[in-house]
Amino acid sequence: MEAMISNLGMLELAIGLILAGCGIGAGLALIAGIGPGIGEGNAVAKALEAIGRQPECKGDVTTTMIMGCAIAETTGLYGLVIGILLIFVAPGLFVDLLMRTIG
């Protein structure tokens, strides 16, 4: 009986560790959002400068800027997708793995 209780405690601890690891990992993955933030800020600042200098090519500059912003966003979105996977997919996967190894 005591062995069972202690086993249960260990199992809960292990699952808690998995959840904590996934949560911390997701948080760390979203640090990737810093880069696109700085990059897109720079891109928009330069686009505004260009529009200020040459207001007649506003349309072209805006289209190209949105395009560039979307591409600069990619690295941030890698982090976002990893974060989403870590929160919604990974815990179930790892808990399943744990259960299978325990038997």
Partner 1 sequence: MQSMPNKKEKRAEKSGSRFFASGSHYLLLAALPLLAGIVLKVLFGVQKEGVSITGAQIFFTLPMPWMDLPITESQINTWLLLLSLYFLVRYLTFDLQVVPRTKRQILAEWLVEKTESLVRTNMGAHMMGFVPFIGAVLALSAFSSLLSLIGLFAPTSDMNVIAGWAVLVFLLITYYKLKCGPLHYLKSFAEPLPFFTPMNIISEIATPVSMAFRHYGNIMSGAVISVLVAAGLQGLSALVFGWLPGWLGEFPILRIGIPAFLSVYFDLFSGCVQAFIFAMLTMLYISGAFAYDDYLAIQKKKETSLQQDHARTEPSAAADPRRG
Residues 27-46 that bind partner 1 (CB under 8 A): none
59 scored as a contact of partner 1 (CB under 8 A): no
67 scored as a contact of partner 1 (CB under 8 A): yes
Q: Spell 70-94 as b/e; 16+ CB within 10 A means b.
A: eebbeebeebbebbeebbeebbeeb
Cβ–Cβ under 8 Å, residues 69 and 42: no
- Site mask, partner 1, residues 68-97, x = CB under 8 A? --xx-xx--xx-xx--x---x---------
Task: Please report, as ranges, the residues that interact with partner 1 according to CB under 8 A.
Answer: 66-67, 70-71, 73-74, 77-78, 80-81, 84, 88
